[in-house]
Structure 1
Amino acid sequence: EIHFINTGNSDAILIIKDNKAALIDGGDNDDEDLVSSYIKKQNISELEYVFATHPHADHIGGLDRVAKEIKINNLYVSNGEVETKSYRDFISVAASKGLYPSVPLLGSKFDLSGSTFEVLSVANTEDPNNNSIVLLYTNGNDKILLMGDAEKEIEQNLNVGDVDLLKVGHHGSYSSSSKSFIDKINPEYAVILVGEDNKYGHPHKETMDTLKEKGIEIHRSDECGDIVFISTGNGLEINCKEGSYNVGNNSKYSTIDNTVKIESNISSIQDESINNSNNNSNKNINIENNNSEVVYWTESGKKYHSDASCSGMKSPISGTIKESKRTPCSKCY
C-alpha cells in the first residue's frame, strides 16, 4: 500500500508491505497530529524507515510528533547545512529517542519485506529542494518514483527508466517535471500533493500541460484527499477517481507563450522572455522589478527570497529584486 496522506500543500507518504512500514516526509508543523494519527489508524506502531527528503517545514514539520509517538528504526536525512526551528525540533526529539540521522549513500538499497527503496539522488547543493532524497520504490514489477522537491537540474541526472507512478516533484511547480524527464520515465500515473487554493498557485500550468500532453492519469490531494495505491507486484490499483489537469487558482505565475509573468501586489514586475539559446532547453528567466521590494539571497545561491530565514540561509544579502540578479525561490513565491 502506498498512502499519500492529504496534508495540503506538503508531503507525507506512508508505504506498508506485510505490516512493515516506511514514512517519506511528515507534512508541515500543523499536520503533526494528522500524520501521527493516520499512521496509527493503519495499525502501524513501528516504522522501519523514515526518510526526511529535505529540511523544509512542509516536509519535516510533523516528524517531531511522529518520532515522539512511533518507534523509528532507521532515520535518513538529506545533505546540506540546516538551521531552522522545524528541523532542530525534529532532530532534538529523534536524539532523545537515541536515534541519530544519517545521509544515505547514492545507489544504496533498503529492504521492506521483499520490496526495495533505492536512493537515486542525494545531491549537496545550495538549494535544499535539489538536495532532496529521491527514491525509487520497487515492489515486484511495480516502480514508484518519489521526487521530494527535486527540480529540473536533478531530473536530468537521474539514472532511471520507465516507472508506473510518479510523485510529482515540488507540488507541481514549474521548476520540476520537465518534458524531457517525463518522456524519459513515461509514468502511467502521477500524484500531486497540493493544497486547495494554495498561495503558491500549485500546480503550475507548465507542469500540467506536460502531463496532459503525455496523457498521464492524474491523482491530486486537493481533489481526492488521501490517495491510496495498492501495488500488486504486477500493476497498481487506485482508490480515487482520476483527477483534473486544472492549474492552481491563486498563482503568482501565469504563462504566456514561453514567458513566465510574476504578479505582485507590492511591485510591478516586467516579464522578459525566456532565453532558449542553448539546445538543452535551460531557461534563464530575467525578472526586472520596477519598484524597491527588498529580497534576500546568498552570494553563491541562485534564488532570491522574500523571507531571510528561508532555506536556512547563512549571512543573507539584502537588496531589490533587480539588484539580486537571481530568479525567485518557488517556496517564497
Structure 2
Amino acid sequence: MLTRRFPSLSATLAGAALFCVAMSVQAREYSVSTVLSADFPWGQAAEKWAELVEERSDGRITLRVYPNSQLVSGDQTREFSAMRQGLIDMAVGSTINWSPQVPELNLFSLPFLMPDTEAVDAITGGQAGEMVFDAIESRGVMPLAWGENGFRELSNSKLPIDSPDDLDGLKIRVVGSPLFQDTFTALGANPTQMSWADAKPALTTGAVDGQENPLSVFDVARIDQVGQKYLTLWHYMNDPLIFAVNQRVWQQLPEEDRELLRQAAIDAGQWEIEMSRAQKDERLEAIKSRGVEVIELDEAQRQAFIDATQSVYETWTPEIGQALVEAAKQAVESR
C-alpha cells in the first residue's frame, strides 16, 4: 500500500510545483513613473490606472507607481528616455516633459492655441491626436490614453497682469523647454529655467518673480505661501497627460493583457479629466479665500497676448510639423 501512495504523493507535489511556477510566470509587476504624487490629479491618474489594472486582472498584473520622478532622480525631462530604454516600464507623463524627445508634443505648448477644454478635446480626440500618438510610437513608446494636467495660469508677486506690457522685465520661472523661453521672451519677460524642486525656494527668496502652472498645482502646493499674490487666468496652454508603455514590454504582453492595460488607461484618463475639470471652481474659490487676487482676461486682453506671441508659431511650426499644426488649428476651429 505504501508503494502505491508514494507515487501519488510525488505526482501531487510535482503538480503543485508546476502550478506555482505557472502562477509566478503569469503574475507580473511593472514600474509606473509620474512626476507628481497622489496629492495632485496627475498622481491620482496613475494610481487609478494601477487600481483598475489590479482589479481587472484579479491581481495578476501589478502597476507599482513611483511618484516625484523617483526613477529618474528627480529629472522629469529624462522620463521619456528612461521609458524608451526600458529603465521604466510605464509612465503617466506630460507633453511638456516628453517634448525634448518627441518634438511633435510641443504642439500643446504653442501659446493660446486652445482657448477652452472643448478645443483640447477636439485636438486629442481627432486627427491631430492620432498624429501625436504615431510620433510617440515611432520613438519606441506605446501611447495608450490621454489624461489632463490642465491649463497653465500665470502668477507673480509684483502686480496684476492683464496685458503683455505688465510682463516687461519680470523674472518668470519656466520649465526646461526652449519653446517656453521663446514665449516669455516674446512677451517681454525674463524667463528663468529651473526644476520645480528649485522653483519654490526661488519664489520664496524673490530670485524669480512669478511662475506658470495649472490651478491644481497652485492650490495643492500652496504657491500663495511663497509670495504669489496675483494670479492671471490666461489659459495660454494646456498640458495633456499621456499613459504609455515601453514598446518592448508592450510587445511581450499577450493581446488580452494589452487590451486590459489600454482600456484601464482610457478609463483612468477619462476619470481624471472629469475630476480635474469638476474641481476647477472649488480650487479657484479656495485660492481666492487665501487672499490671492485673481485676474480674468476679456477677449480684447487675451487677443493682445495672442498677437504678441505670433513669432513663436513662426519659429516652432517647422519643428512640430506644419501638417500637425494645421490639423490642430482645424480641430479647434471646427469644434
TM-score range, shorter chain: under 0.3
Q: Which has the higher contact order (CA 8 A, sep 6+)?
A: 2
Between structures 1 and 2, the one with greater strand share: 1
TM-score by length of 2: 0.25
Higher percent of residues as helix:
2
TM-score with structure 1 length normalisation? 0.25
Larger radius of gyration, structure 1 or 2? 2
